[in-house]
């Protein structure tokens, strides 16, 4: 009787545990294979189970990020090294970050077999303790819960313009620039792509020619990741920005200034470097029509 009771309790515990895993994300890597893999001793302490990414998906991830020989790719949670190795085959320099020493050893073997040991390195390390600042591309196959914990580090450490691709799991309120869905061996895969944006929120000021003098403008920018809104104000009026777009360190927007006889549209295009935006403005209509240089400083 005691044996039957114990067996029943074990069955109930396993069922509940499986339910919780499924509820966190119906697209978790662990759900993609049957039976579920048994984690290595190191992985039992980790937050993410190891499930290999299909090679077709690896290629699509690298294509989304447009990886070239000029890139430095970091693969966080690199498993057997296939993403970092595939990037190295394209000429990129790669770093795979993995907590499981057995997988790190396997990755080094795979890199040697692929003939790319000179361009790829694998480290046994906690990805949250890894300095990411050298990366121009980052790839992930984690969980949404881990992505959300990692998101502030990605936004703070990575350079504006760095490309980010996540297999299967999103970044919460941070909307992707692009999403690709694909099927491999009857399995559905979803890939998310982002570009790290510059930090532009705040107040900026600049001058522009007006008649025989200069007119002062104040640019107020509000930012929600790569989405930007705001106003441009001069001595006469405040104008809402339209068509505002922030891609990496490139900021573009328009404003329309109504005049007595016509309307003047100003199309701004600039590159953000810390506390300066420098570029050009195309003025359509009015006495100052044409292209002018534009430099704004953060106040």
User: What are the residue ranges spanned by the domains of the chain?
Assistant: 42-195, 202-298
pTM of the model as a whole: 0.82
In angstroms, the CA 218 to CA 205 distance is 5
| 149 pLDDT above the threshold of 60 | yes
pLDDT tens digits along 1-18:
433 443 444 343 333 333
The residue among 92 and 288 whose pLDDT is bigger is: 92
C-alpha angle 171-128-249 in degrees, rounded to nearest 5: 55
Q: What is the mean pLDDT of residues 242-265?
A: 92
* Whether the Cβ atoms of residue 128 and residue 152 lie closer than 8 Å to each other: no
Residues 6 or more apart from 141 whose CB is under 8 A from it? Answer: 29, 48, 51, 53, 77, 79, 83, 166, 167, 168, 169
Query: Is 85 within 8 Å of 114 (Cβ atoms)?
Result: yes
Instruction: State what percent of residues in the chain have pLDDT above 70.
Output: 84
Assess whether pLDDT exceeds 90 at residue 174. yes
Say what the pLDDT of residue 289 is: 85
pLDDT score recorded for residue 253: 99
In tens, the pLDDT along 31-41 reads 233 333 333 43
Fold of 42-195: Rossmann fold (3.40.50)
Most confident of 10-19, 180-189, 283-292: 180-189
Topology agreement, domain 42-195 and domain 202-298: no
Q: Please, which contacts does 26-35 make with residues 24 or more away whose CB atoms are closer than 8 Å?
A: 27/168, 27/169, 27/188, 27/190, 28/143, 28/168, 29/141, 29/143, 29/168, 32/187
Q: Judging by DSSP bridges, how do beta strands 93-98 and 120-124 pair with one another? A: parallel
pLDDT of residue 115: 98
Q: Where are the alpha helices (DSSP H) in the chain?
A: 2-24, 55-64, 82-89, 101-114, 144-157
Q: What is the pLDDT of residue 258?
A: 82
Q: Please tell me the predicted confidence (pLDDT) of residue 46.
A: 57
Cα 231 vs. chain centroid, distance in angstroms? Answer: 27
Give the pLDDT confidence score for residue 32 in this predicted structure.
Answer: 30
Instruction: State whether the Cα torsion 62-65-71-74 is positive or negative.
Output: negative
Check if CATH label 2.40.128.120 holds for domain 202-298: yes
CA distance 142 to 243: 34
Residue 132: is its pLDDT beyond 50? yes
Q: Which residue has the higher pLDDT, 109 or 35?
A: 109
Instruction: Show the CA angle centred on residue 33, arms to residues 28 and 34, nearest 5°.
Output: 125
Name the region of 277 (left: φ>0; alpha: ψ -120 to 50; beta: rest). Answer: beta
Between residues 238 and 288, the one the model is more confident about: 238
Give the mean model confidence (pLDDT) for residues 98-120: 98
Bridge-partner residues for 223, per DSSP?
Answer: 228
Question: For residue range 190-217, what is the model confidence (pLDDT) as tens digits?
Answer: 999 999 999 999 999 999 987 778 999 9
Average pLDDT, the chain: 87
Phi, psi (rounded to 5 degrees) for 170? -90, -170
Percent over 90 (pLDDT), the chain? 77
Record the tokens describing residue 136, joined without a space.
């121009």
Q: What is the pLDDT of residue 7?
A: 40
Residue 30 vs residue 263, higher pLDDT = 263
pLDDT at site 1:
44
């Amino acid at each position: 009787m005691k044996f039957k009771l114990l067996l029943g309790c074990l069955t109930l515990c396993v069922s509940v545990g499986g339910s919780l895993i499924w509820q966190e994300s119906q697209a978790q890597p662990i759900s993609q294979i049957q039976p579920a893999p048994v984690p290595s001793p190191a992985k039992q302490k980790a937050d993410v189970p190891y499930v290999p990414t299909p090679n077709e998906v690896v290629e699509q991830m690298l294509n989304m990020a447009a990886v070239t020989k000029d890139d430095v790719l970091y693969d966080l949670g690199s498993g057997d090294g296939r993403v970092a190795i595939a990037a190295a085959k394209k000429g990129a320099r790669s770093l795979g970050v993995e907590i499981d020493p057995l997988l790190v050893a396997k990755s080094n073997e795979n890199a040697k077999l692929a003939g790319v040991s000179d361009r790829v390195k694998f480290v046994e390390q906690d990805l949250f303790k890894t300095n990411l600042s050298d990366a121009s591309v980052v790839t992930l196959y984690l969980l949404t819960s881990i992505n959300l914990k990692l998101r502030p580090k990605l936004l703070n450490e990575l350079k504006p313009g760095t490309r980010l691709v996540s297999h299967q799991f999103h970044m919460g309120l941070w909307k992707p620039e692009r999403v690709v869905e694909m099927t491999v061996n009857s399995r559905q895969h979803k890939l998310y792509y982002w570009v790290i944006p510059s930090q532009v929120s705040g107040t900026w000021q600049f001058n522009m020619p007006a008649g025989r003098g200069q007119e002062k403008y104040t640019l107020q920018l509000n930012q929600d990741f790569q989405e930007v809104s705001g106003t441009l104000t001069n001595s006469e009026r405040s104008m809402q920005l339209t068509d505002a777009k922030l891609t990496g360190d490139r900021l573009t927007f328009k404003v329309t200034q109504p005049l007595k006889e016509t309307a003047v549209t100003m199309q701004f295009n600039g590159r953000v470097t810390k506390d300066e935006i420098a570029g050009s403005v195309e003025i359509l209509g009015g006495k100052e029509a044409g292209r002018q240089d534009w430099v704004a400083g953060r106040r």
